[in-house]
Amino acid sequence: MEERTKPDSVESKSEKQKPNPAGMSESRFSGMSRRELLKVAPVLALGAFAIPGAQEWLLKKGLGFSDWASELTFRGGHMAPTFSDSELTPFEKFPINDYDVDDPGVIFDNWTLTVSGAVQKPGDYKLEQIQALPRTRQNTRHVCVEGWDVIGRFGGTRLSDFMKMIGADTSSRFIAVTCADDYYETLDMATALHPQTLLCYEMYDRPLTRGHGAPLRLNIPTKIGYKQAKWLTDLKVTNIVKKVGYWEDQGYSSFYGL
């Protein structure tokens, strides 16, 4: 499934030592060798399928451990690969994918991005205000959980620049977004502040089309496609989320870094 794109915040010692979803402390995880981790994986997999009635619990624990480990090892300064113009997938071959409709019917003249939560300047922001920030263009790979990937050209403003403009509290844990088609998604703060995470309003140096999420979507080359929500309408900076994401709340990975 496709859509649906301050340096890492400093955590206290007590936060860093909290147990992960599999019951292992971060200090213990850091001390494990790659070989030890490889030994654990097949045991967990075997248990998931061999113990009657325990499969779902074990699989949730395994997914939780994977998300925890991925977030722990995420490097805010590590860049996703970029590509030359000659390597781009032709625009007409870039798939349009969604969970419900190809076009929720956004009225562009009335559109705003409503900002709330831990910010100094909440309110409704027009597309022109976002476009007034420095523009970044990047040729990056878009990877869908369905098994396909393409290389596209995306343009927009860094989410980190927008966060500065609205006076966001970057010590908060999450950025939560909702969309015109009622889709919703959450990003950890480190990913939100990554220099390649864009509030995207262009593809292939042209304004976004409706099918690709106009007027504004996320472009996050460090994440799987379903994290890159389209047709954004609301953005909230927060420490608490009741709903993580449309697919995550159905059992998909909540971090899913690439």
Q: Which tokens hold the place of 241? A: 């989320």
Same domain, 221 and 165: yes
99 lies in which domain range? Answer: 85-250
pLDDT of 23 reads 54
Q: Tell whether 185 and 240 lie within a shared domain.
A: yes
Please tell me the predicted confidence (pLDDT) of residue 205.
98
Domain membership flag for residue 237: yes
Which of 47, 73, 99 terminates a domain? The answer is 73
Residues 109 and 235 in one domain: yes
Q: What's the confidence (pLDDT) of residue 50?
A: 57
Number of domains, the chain: 2
Q: Is residue 256 part of a domain?
A: no
Q: Is the per-residue pLDDT at 12 higher than 50?
A: no
Q: Are residues 154 and 49 in the same domain?
A: no
Residue 3 in any domain: the answer is no
Specify whether 24 is located in the same domain as 106. Answer: no
In a domain, 235, yes or no: yes
Residue 68 has pLDDT above 50, yes or no: no
Q: Are residues 128 and 19 in the same domain?
A: no
Q: Are residues 118 and 237 in the same domain?
A: yes
DSSP string, 52-106: TTTHHHHHHHHHHHHHHHHHHH--TTPPPPB--GGGPPPGGGS----SS-S----
In a domain, 212, yes or no: yes
Looking at the structure, tell me whether residues 21 and 98 fall in a common domain: no
Beta bridge partners of 206: 203
- Taking only the tens place, the pLDDT of each residue in 171-205 is 999 999 999 999 999 999 999 999 999 999 999 99
More confident residue, 227 or 36: 227
What is the model's pLDDT at position 3?
46
Model confidence, pTM: 0.74
Query: What percent of the chain shows pLDDT beyond 90?
Result: 66
Query: What is the average pLDDT value for the chain, to the nearest integer?
Result: 82
pLDDT digits (tens, 9 = 90+) for 121-157: 999 999 999 999 999 999 999 999 999 999 999 999 9
